[in-house]
Chain A
Amino acid sequence: MSEPKLAVDLAGLEMHNPLIVASGTFAYGEEFINVGGFKNEDIGAIALKGTTLEPREGNATPRVAETASGMLNSIGLQNPGADAVVRDVLPRLRAFDTRLIANIAGGTVEEYREVARRFARAPELDAIEVNISCPNVRRGGAAFGADPTAAADVVAAVREAWGGPLIAKLTPNVTDIAPIAAACIDAGADILSLINTLRGMVIDTATRRPVLGNNFGGLSGPAVKPVAILMVHQVYQIAREKNVPVIGMGGIAGANDAIEFIIAGASAFSVGTALFWNPSVCRQIIDGLRAYLIEHEIDDVSKLVGTLKTN
């Protein structure tokens, strides 16, 4: 069989392969290139660190805690603010032949809209991902993404400011993800990505204090993968009817994990935490994916999407 096609086109976000590095695990794209053998060009797209309107200092340390098969983080969105990213960081990233996705965060609908406006002026960006897991400061800190109306408000506000591919990143910290996915699509999202981290806590029994400076944090890594696979499967049922592609993530550490997500309905997938313990994982996943497609005589990765046969 000839070389299978790995390039994908997600609602205008064209990538030479379906691997995206997850927001918050790759800073602004200039760190992993210091690792011998690592090339940003091997990646389909980079989701940049979550960015707010003003610079944010982030949470107190410790900011990470290892858990069984995963880790908790409570970075607290430390970032230099949208203007600094647009002015100082994005121009440098032109050097890399890969797609760039801004990831935006905020405490109010207006903040999201304003960050999107700043990013809309940056010619370097190929897509914007809206992280709707952030607490809504006007609603006692409940996440925007936990309520269909609030989620739709945020997506609609960003939609007004940005005409390119718009990704709504869903939170798994909900009872039913389907109505939220539907609300985001109706509000103008072109693509859905999921999952963000699951909330959790680790306690140091010697001191009876939470290990994280922020008390609680978000769980990621292989521990969350089965949760993520099911949610991608559920969201895919809704998204495919409206022709909206899904980006799957949560615990991908090897090619087989990525393939599971694709079968469940993901047109592309993101790798985050696994990069921390294996910076060479991207190459390994792409090689493994290619080998799988050849073995199963599939000439285009897109033909594998959503091919799950339920019992």
Chain B
Amino acid sequence: MEVLPRNTIHHLRCPVLDVVELEGGHCRLRFHAPPIARSSIPGQFVNVRLPGRIDRPRAFDSYADVVEYHKTHPVGEAPFLLARPFGVHRAGADGWVEILFKVVGRGTRLLAGAALGSRLDVLGSIGNGFNLTQPPQTAVLVAGGTGIAPLYLLAERLHRAGSGLVVLVGTGFALPMTLSDSDEVVHFLDKDVTAVIDEYVDLGAVVRIATIEPRKGCHTGTSVDLLSQYLQALPPGERAGKAIFSCGPWAMQAAVAGLAARYAMPCQVLLEERMGCGLGACMACVCKIRQETGEYKYKRVCVDGPVFDANDVGWEARE
């Protein structure tokens, strides 16, 4: 077992700056965490816990206001809760970090109801993010559901590094981002598939959306269909310089990995697994990963991942 030097993981009490409810039971939460905002790389995650709640009659005007309030209002005792992992969605130079999530259970419900100014217990940033040592000419981002959240930070950084972006999103429900209609036709899809996500378009991305239920401007199907059509339409000579980045449910990512292998395209995937510590200590979050020997071994998603090369993941090992 070799030890790799790792970045410091900060354990901070972070005031909630903003909580926004979005379509389809989604929520965007912003908290103040300068060391995490500074050090986060795309694909890394934060482990968030809600230690207690304070009732607050009105919104805070500034961070200084929050600090002042906390001098006289200590946070109450905590209910027991394991931390919840969320990919870093966006981070600001002035020290804020945003996560974007869907309310699916107890933890996300508590988080969505977090009072402004209450403090979250946050550990971050954790894990190996996407490998961006050689930004591709064109990055093809494939997202299933809330997979669009961690991919946004990636899109921002790739855009800054000069990569072109193609963003293919599949969703079974309403999207927590801004939809609009594009007048541009893309060559790999029918001409009536025109809906786009503004946040990604602003980064110069070509964006297309697939929905399970038919919806105007969207392809009826999945993000895997979109990727399949994109790759089919791509002349073999144009595959070089392109790379796939994926985030979403296991079955979707297994299919993305299959397509990447068939077209011999590099592909990185961000995996999810249930966690205990989020620090590499409990061995809860494992997943079968191929070693240099060709053997598959359980590796920890939290610190050995969460991003892996799609070729190395033992996709069959799990249904």
29 A-B contacts (beta carbon < 8 Å):
A25-B276, A25-B277, A27-B283, A31-B303, A34-B6, A34-B9, A34-B280, A36-B8, A36-B9, A36-B35, A38-B11, A58-B283, A61-B285, A61-B286, A61-B318, A63-B274, A63-B284, A68-B80, A70-B80, A73-B284, A78-B283, A84-B1, A88-B1, A92-B3, A222-B80, A275-B277, A276-B277, A277-B121, A279-B123
Chain A residue at smallest Cβ distance from B84: A66
Interface size on A, residues (CB 8 A): 43
Which residues of chain A come closer than 8 Å to B1, judged between CB atoms?
80, 84, 88-89
Contact of A277 among B3, B81, B283, B284 (CB under 8 A): B81
In the complex, the answer to whether A35 meets B298 with C-beta atoms within 8 Å is no
- Convert A259-281 into 0s and 1s, putting 1 for each residue whose CB lies closer than 8 angstroms to a CB of B: 00000000000000001111110
8 Å CB interface, B244-285 against A: 273-285
In the complex, the answer to whether B280 meets A64 with C-beta atoms within 8 Å is no
Instruction: Tell me whether chain A's interface is mostly helix, strand or loop, or mixed.
Output: loop
Contact of A35 among B11, B80, B275 (CB under 8 A): B11
Which residues of chain A come closer than 8 Å to B9, judged between CB atoms?
34-36
Distance in angstroms from B260 CB to nearest chain A CB is 24
A75 at the binding interface (Cβ < 8 Å) = yes
Contact of A36 among B10, B49, B274, B281 (CB under 8 A): B10
Which residues of chain A come closer than 8 Å to B80, judged between CB atoms?
68-70, 221-223, 253, 277
8 Å CB interface, B60-102 against A: 79-83
In the complex, the answer to whether B274 meets A31 with C-beta atoms within 8 Å is no
Which residues of chain B come closer than 8 Å to A188, judged between CB atoms?
none
In the complex, the answer to whether A75 meets B283 with C-beta atoms within 8 Å is yes
B287 at the binding interface (Cβ < 8 Å) = yes
In the complex, the answer to whether A73 meets B3 with C-beta atoms within 8 Å is no
Which residues of chain A come closer than 8 Å to B10, judged between CB atoms?
35-36
Which residues of chain B come closer than 8 Å to A70, judged between CB atoms?
80
A30 at the binding interface (Cβ < 8 Å) = yes
Max chain A C-beta neighbours (<10 A), residue from B1, B274, B283, B286: B283
Q: A61-B318, A278-B121 are in contact. Are A34 and B282 (CB under 8 A)?
A: no
In the complex, the answer to whether B286 meets A27 with C-beta atoms within 8 Å is no
Interface size on B, residues (CB 8 A): 36
Which residues of chain B come closer than 8 Å to A89, judged between CB atoms?
1
In the complex, the answer to whether B81 meets A66 with C-beta atoms within 8 Å is yes
In the complex, the answer to whether A62 meets B11 with C-beta atoms within 8 Å is no
Question: Which 6 pairs, one residue from A and one from B, show the smallest C-beta to C-beta distance?
Answer: A31-B281, A64-B284, A27-B281, A31-B280, A69-B80, A62-B274
Which residues of chain A come closer than 8 Å to B278, judged between CB atoms?
276
The CA of A69 and the CA of B282, in the complex, are separated in Å by: 18
The CA of A62 and the CA of B82, in the complex, are separated in Å by: 15
Which residues of chain B come closer than 8 Å to A80, judged between CB atoms?
1
- Convert B6-39 into 0s and 1s, putting 1 for each residue whose CB lies closer than 8 angstroms to a CB of A: 1111110000000000000000000000010000
Chain A residue at smallest Cβ distance from B277: A276
Q: A34-B9, A58-B286 are in contact. Are A277 and B281 (CB under 8 A)?
A: no
Binding site for A on B (CB under 8 A): 1, 3, 6-11, 35, 49, 79-83, 121, 123, 273-287, 297-298, 303, 318
The CA of A84 and the CA of B279, in the complex, are separated in Å by: 22
Which residues of chain B come closer than 8 Å to A62, judged between CB atoms?
273-274, 284
The CA of A279 and the CA of B278, in the complex, are separated in Å by: 10
- Convert A212-252 into 0s and 1s, putting 1 for each residue whose CB lies closer than 8 angstroms to a CB of B: 00000000011100000000000000000000000000000
- Convert A272-294 into 0s and 1s, putting 1 for each residue whose CB lies closer than 8 angstroms to a CB of B: 00011111100000000000000
In the complex, the answer to whether B282 meets A280 with C-beta atoms within 8 Å is no
The CA of A32 and the CA of B302, in the complex, are separated in Å by: 13
The CA of A293 and the CA of B82, in the complex, are separated in Å by: 31
Which residues of chain B come closer than 8 Å to A280, judged between CB atoms?
11
8 Å CB interface, A18-64 against B: 24-27, 30-32, 34-38, 49, 57-58, 61-64
Max chain A C-beta neighbours (<10 A), residue from B3, B276, B282, B283: B282
The CA of A276 and the CA of B85, in the complex, are separated in Å by: 12
Distance in angstroms from A151 CB to nearest chain B CB is 26
Q: A37-B11, A61-B273, A276-B83 are in contact. Are A32 and B279 (CB under 8 A)?
A: yes
Which residues of chain A come closer than 8 Å to B8, judged between CB atoms?
34-36
Chain A residue at smallest Cβ distance from B106: A66
In the complex, the answer to whether B282 meets A27 with C-beta atoms within 8 Å is yes
The CA of A31 and the CA of B285, in the complex, are separated in Å by: 14
Which residues of chain A come closer than 8 Å to B79, judged between CB atoms?
69
In the complex, the answer to whether B276 meets A30 with C-beta atoms within 8 Å is no
Which residues of chain B come closer than 8 Å to A152, judged between CB atoms?
none
In the complex, the answer to whether A78 meets B298 with C-beta atoms within 8 Å is yes
In the complex, the answer to whether A279 meets B279 with C-beta atoms within 8 Å is yes
Max chain A C-beta neighbours (<10 A), residue from B123, B274, B284, B287: B284
A255 at the binding interface (Cβ < 8 Å) = no
Chain B residue at smallest Cβ distance from A63: B284
In the complex, the answer to whether A36 meets B273 with C-beta atoms within 8 Å is no
The CA of A62 and the CA of B10, in the complex, are separated in Å by: 26
Max chain B C-beta neighbours (<10 A), residue from A62, A64, A71: A64
Distance in angstroms from B127 CB to nearest chain A CB is 11
